[in-house]
């Protein structure tokens, strides 16, 4: 029973998928050239190009923070401005990594209720920056999260109008795709449609939360933008000598659509969780489109669930109707039983402690 009391804290508490462990073992044969000059790394490039239906440059790194910060460092100069949502992971959870890697660029945060930026939000701040000249950081890039930090997903047409505006303003477009798999699974479109065909220039492609051990990748859809990346990765200590073991994790995820199968599973559980909670009168605060469910709950309920062994975060957002906001994350390795257990626990509590 306590087995089903599992953590909804994050999808990064998960173990490694068997396919990924198997891939590590598969490439563990003999010596190969270090630093990426190996067959598995080349295979990754081919596989990613096939998956995204385009020639691209892909560079794997071990963490999402590294992927994002390195991507931004090639897109924005030290005196640059990067526009992002105020809730963006790069703005709130990376301890200033973008500032470090760019050499001091400034994240300019924009707001919206659903975690998405929209095309119209760029004009005013960019115009102001241009007018201020050398006194203001230089508009350089937009960074968006897909899925967003509120678990919502940009539709391709939303992406297209946003990226068109960004490009019109001379801004590069970066997508933090820590949960890109969940977004694509939700959209049901091609990875290409969810990225470069919708105007994304550089994608941080996440795999760690979705079954890998420690593997993300930076994908450049405009290869010219990748020019400095390899030197920046090396001097940031993010070039593995035994790169085959990083590349193979991503290969295992992309092969046979493991990444999408994982994401579909997690998304489906999130949807089920949202429905279960709604039946208890706890309505999600945002559309549940990926693998995150945000709800407001009374303090006592939160405490009671935790006392039963459920784990999750209170989210740094204003209380809703006096109740703290909590985030419940589903993951590739979760089961229906895990969801059922949580919903049942909530139901039992709702009965006991009406708000």
Q: What residues between 127 and 146 interact with its own copies by CB under 8 A?
A: 128, 132-138
Whether 250 contacts 207, CB under 8 Å: yes
Minimum distance, C-beta of residue 354 to its own copies, in the bound complex (Å): 29
What would the two tokens of residue 35 be? 């630093």
213 is an interface residue for its own copies by CB under 8 A: yes
CB of 221 to its own copies, least distance (A): 22
Q: How far is the CB of 128 from its own copies (least distance, A)?
A: 5
Residue 188 interacts with its own copies (CB under 8 A): yes or no: no
Give the integer Cα–Cα distance in Å for 39 and 32. Answer: 8
- Of 231, 303, 336, 337, the one binding its own copies (CB under 8 A) is 231
* Part of the chain binding its own copies (CB under 8 A), chosen from 19-27, 150-158, 191-199, 347-355: 19-27
Q: Does 6 bind its own copies (CB under 8 A)?
A: yes
Strand 172-177 and strand 202-206: the pairing is parallel
Size of the site for its own copies (CB under 8 A): 76
Out of 54, 100, 118, 190, the only residue in the binding site for its own copies (CB under 8 A) is 100
Is residue 145 within 8 Å of residue 170, measured between CB atoms?
no
Residues 35-94 that bind its own copies (CB under 8 A): 35, 61-70, 77-79, 92-94
- Contact at 8 Å (CB) between 14 and 333? yes
The tokens for 109 are 């945060």
| Whether the bond into 147 is cis, omega within 30 of 0 | yes
Strand partners, 217: 60, 205
Q: Does 170 bind its own copies (CB under 8 A)?
A: no
Angle between helices 244-254 and 39-52 (to 10 degrees): 30
Residue 232 CA to residue 236 CA, distance in Å, equals 6
Listing DSSP states for 2-18 in one string gives GGG--B-S-TTS----H
Near its own copies in 332-351, by CB under 8 A: 333
Residue 65 or 198: the one with the smaller Cβ distance to its own copies is: 65
* Contact pattern for its own copies over residues 235 through 274, marking x by CB under 8 A: xxxxxxxx--xx----------------------------
d(CA 351, CA 355): 10
Long-range contacts at 221-229 (CB < 8 A, ≥ 24 apart) = 221/52, 221/54, 221/56, 221/195, 221/196, 223/55, 223/56, 223/57, 225/74, 225/75, 225/172, 225/201, 226/57, 226/59, 226/74, 227/74, 228/73, 228/74, 229/57, 229/59, 229/70, 229/74
Stretch that binds its own copies, among 20-28, 50-58, 192-200, 256-264 (CB under 8 A): 20-28
Q: Which stretch binds its own copies (CB under 8 A): 32-40, 162-170, 218-226, 343-351?
A: 32-40
Binding to its own copies, residues 305-334 (CB under 8 A) = 316, 333
- For the CB of residue 338, give the shortest distance to its own copies in the complex, in Å: 10
Stretch that binds its own copies, among 98-106, 185-193, 275-283, 340-348 (CB under 8 A): 98-106
Stretch touching its own copies by CB under 8 A, among 113-121, 162-170, 186-194, 209-217: 209-217
**Using rule CB under 8 A, residue 99 touches its own copies:** yes
181 contributes a contact to its own copies by CB under 8 A: no
Q: Is residue 29 at the binding interface for its own copies, with CB under 8 A as the rule? A: yes
Alpha-carbon torsion angle 333, 340, 288, 334, nearest 10: 0
Could you give the maximum distance between any two Cα atoms of the chain, in Å? 63
Per CB under 8 A, the segment of 23-31, 274-282, 289-297, 302-310 that binds its own copies is 23-31
């Amino acid at each position: 029973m306590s087995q089903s009391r599992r953590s909804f804290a994050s999808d990064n508490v998960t173990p490694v998928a068997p396919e990924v462990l198997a891939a590590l073992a598969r490439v563990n044969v003999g010596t190969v050239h270090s630093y990426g000059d190996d067959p598995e790394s080349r295979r990754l490039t081919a596989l990613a190009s096939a998956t995204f239906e385009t020639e691209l440059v892909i560079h794997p790194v071990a963490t999402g923070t590294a992927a994002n910060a390195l991507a931004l460092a090639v897109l924005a100069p030290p005196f640059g401005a990067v526009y992002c949502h105020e809730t963006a992971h790069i703005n709130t959870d990376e301890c200033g990594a973008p500032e470090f890697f760019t050499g001091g660029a400034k994240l300019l945060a924009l707001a919206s209720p659903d975690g998405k930026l929209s095309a119209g939000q760029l004009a005013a701040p960019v115009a102001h920056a241009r007018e201020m000249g050398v006194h203001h950081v230089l508009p350089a890039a937009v960074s968006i999260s897909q899925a967003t930090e509120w678990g919502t997903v940009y539709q391709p047409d939303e992406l297209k109008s946003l990226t068109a505006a960004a490009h019109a303003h001379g801004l590069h477009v970066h997508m933090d795709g820590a949960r890109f798999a969940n977004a694509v699974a939700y959209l049901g479109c091609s990875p290409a449609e969810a990225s470069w065909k919708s105007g994304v220039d550089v994608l941080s492609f996440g795999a760690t939360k979705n079954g890998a051990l420690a593997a993300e990748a930076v994908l450049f859809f405009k290869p010219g933008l990748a020019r400095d990346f390899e030197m920046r990765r090396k001097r940031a200590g993010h070039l593995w000598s035994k790169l085959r073991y990083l590349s193979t994790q991503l290969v295992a995820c992309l092969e046979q659509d493991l990444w999408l199968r994982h994401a579909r599973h997690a998304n489906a559980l999130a949807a089920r969780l949202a429905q279960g909670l709604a039946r208890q009168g706890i309505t999600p605060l945002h559309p549940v489109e990926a693998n995150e469910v945000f709800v407001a709950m009374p303090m006592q309920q939160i405490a009671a669930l935790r006392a039963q062994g459920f784990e999750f975060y209170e989210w740094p957002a204003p209380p809703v109707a006096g109740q703290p906001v909590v985030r419940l994350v589903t993951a590739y390795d979760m089961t229906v039983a895990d969801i059922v257990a949580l919903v049942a626990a909530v139901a039992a509590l709702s009965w006991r402690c009406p708000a």
